[in-house]
């Protein structure tokens, strides 16, 4: 697995992204001070880079085939340490029939937050 530049990726490439993530680890404060960095690895299908205010790498994780809705992880580009290609898009077409949908404009599923009502007694 060799690191590549974002410019070298093609839509549909299966990639792994190593990036610095925020965390809520419960550890002694001294540990947080000594080693504050938390790295995550996400893998999925490369969709592209988008965003107005900050650039985000879009990584497709799953698809509702009938409707063409994709579950996508959005990773801030400035937090990315390394990107590697696992399998090129051209080699995945048979295994993932929805892959050509990525060439068009994709629709990202939106999740609504549950509304919490407080009851006062």
- pLDDT tens for residues 86-113? 989 888 877 877 777 666 555 555 555 5
Q: Are 69 and 101 in contact (CB under 8 A)?
A: no
Q: What pLDDT does 28 receive?
A: 86
Q: Of 1-5, 7-11, 43-47, where does mean pLDDT reach its minimum? A: 1-5
Q: What pLDDT does 115 receive?
A: 52
Number of domains into which the chain is organized: 1
The burial of 102, by beta-carbon neighbours within 10 Å (0-12 exposed, 13-18 middle, 19 or more buried), is given as buried
Please check whether residue 33 lies inside any domain of the structure. Answer: yes
Q: What pLDDT does 89 receive?
A: 87
Please check whether residue 120 lies inside any domain of the structure. Answer: no
Please check whether residue 119 lies inside any domain of the structure. Answer: no
Q: The domain containing residue 77 runs over which residues?
A: 6-108
Please check whether residue 118 lies inside any domain of the structure. Answer: no
Q: What pLDDT does 29 receive?
A: 87
DSSP per-residue string spanning the chain: --B--GGG--TT-EEEEEEE--------HHHHHH----EEEEEEEEEEEE-SSS-EEEEEEEEETTTTEEEEEEEEGGGEEEEEEEE-GGGTTTT-TTGGGGGS--EE--PPPPP------
Q: What pLDDT does 121 receive?
A: 47
Q: What pLDDT does 33 receive?
A: 85
Write out pLDDT tens, residues 41-86. Answer: 999 999 999 988 899 999 998 877 667 678 899 999 999 999 999 9
Write out pLDDT tens, residues 27-39. Answer: 888 888 888 888 8
Please check whether residue 121 lies inside any domain of the structure. Answer: no
Please check whether residue 93 lies inside any domain of the structure. Answer: yes
15 has a pLDDT exceeding 90: yes
């Amino acid at each position: 697995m060799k690191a590549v530049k974002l410019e070298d990726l093609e839509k549909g490439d299966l990639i792994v992204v190593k990036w610095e993530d925020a965390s809520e680890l419960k550890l002694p404060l001294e540990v947080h001070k000594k080693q504050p960095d938390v790295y995550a690895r996400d893998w999925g299908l490369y969709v592209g880079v988008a965003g107005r205010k900050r650039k985000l790498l879009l990584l497709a994780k799953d698809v509702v085939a009938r409707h063409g809705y994709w579950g996508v992880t959005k990773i801030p580009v400035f937090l990315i340490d390394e990107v590697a290609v696992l399998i090129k898009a051209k080699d995945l077409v048979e295994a993932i029939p929805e892959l050509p949908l990525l060439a068009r404009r994709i629709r990202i599923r939106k999740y609504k937050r549950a509304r919490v009502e407080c009851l006062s007694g």
